[in-house]
Amino acid sequence: MSGATLFSVSFDIGSAILRGIASVFPMPESGWITNPDVILGLSAVIFAAILLAASMLNTILLIWWERKLLGRIMDRRGAMHVGYAGLLQNFADGLKLFRKNTVQPREADSLGFYSGPVTYMVTSLIIFGILPISSGWNGGALPLTLLLALAIFSFAPLFIFVSAWSSNNKYSLMGGMRSAAQMIAYEVPILLAVVAVVIVSGSFDLTTIVYEQQNYWFWGPLFVALIVFVAGMLAEMERIPFDLPEAEAELVEGWNTEYGGMLFAFFMLADYLRALIGSILVVLLFLGGWTLPTWVPSGLTTFPLAGIFWFMVKTYAVFGLFVWIRASLPRVRTDQLLRVGWNRMIPLSLLAVFLAAVLVTVKCLPVFGCVPSAGGM
């Protein structure tokens, strides 16, 4: 997507639509159709629609990817029937869920019960909207994108707790409390690991962070931070070694026990959307985003949409790592989870920050030889 940005593409689509309207219904030159606010508003709507479609499509493909990968690890095949290799299975499942009835428990708090899934979904969509996917696909383009993304990311315990509490179910409430405790425990190491990245790159803007990785990706020099970030993301996404909030052996289905049909689909989609966002953040912060190392042949990076392609390849590979971890490790206990979070992860992340500071101070990255860091304190 060199040259064309996401907004310019939606601007082109919007102006094409307006030209079509003007050619079908003749109207004066000075009418509403030439008003710049109309074309800007229309392109903003198209922009949002493209982002929504991309996020939902990727989320559903992510579920397919997890099912196939997990199946192979378990010596199965995963979904096979609907579509080629089961590609459309999740669309069918989603359609089924959206057609189902929603049952509200007696004495559940309607406001919290219905607003919980919606806010959870919407906040996750906002994060996807502001993350840059390639040089042209940059919805946020703010100087503090990373900070904003992580801030919205940490809203989730509130909504989970609200929806769990208003379900009027003890299992939901326990799941919600576990979720809140776990997310708060792992929020701190994640932020400290991000601080290490920010120290080395010198910016909170994700685009800048990606371009700082042109010469070397950060996963090598900041390996400790990567470990902490991935472990923390596993806990934030509530994936299997840390999926205590929905431990189905103890709490029926955790905080979404009482949800069914469309509301459950919202939770499910938002969960996988957050998994997608977690993988995207790992790629952006540690794996060089949409850039490839300079030694790869230029044919691999110059075809149309190459940035988005390589970004998605990396994202799905990172999510494959999460699936691999899910297939391998058993669920930990609550006390183990919190002990690891507060006693191991925070010292490790502090160590990562310290290492980053040392790297920047001596202006030397040991893994790739002495390449001067472009950022700095």
Q: Give the binding site for another protein (CB under 8 A).
A: 69, 71-77, 80, 324-325, 327-329
CB-nearer residue toward another protein: 73 or 142 = 73
* Beta carbon nearer to another protein, 137 or 319: 319
Minimum distance, C-beta of residue 59 to another protein, in the bound complex (Å): 23
Query: How many CB atoms neighbour CB 325 within 10 A?
Result: 16
**Residue 61 C-beta: closest distance to another protein, Å:** 20
State in angstroms the smallest separation of the CB of 74 from another protein: 8
Is the Cβ of residue 48 or residue 70 nearer to another protein in the bound state?
A: 70
In the complex with another protein, which residue's Cβ is closer, 7 or 316? Answer: 316
CB of 349 to another protein, least distance (A): 18
- CA dist., res. 276 & res. 283, Å (int): 11
For the bound state, the minimum distance from the C-beta of residue 233 to another protein, rounded and expressed in Å, comes to 15
CB of 153 to another protein, least distance (A): 25
Least separation in angstroms between residue 75's CB and another protein is: 4
**Of residues 150 and 325, the one with the C-beta less far from another protein:** 325
Q: Which is nearer to another protein, 240 or 355 (CB)?
A: 240
Give CA–CA dist 216/183, Å, rounded: 31
Q: Which is nearer to another protein, 180 or 340 (CB)?
A: 340
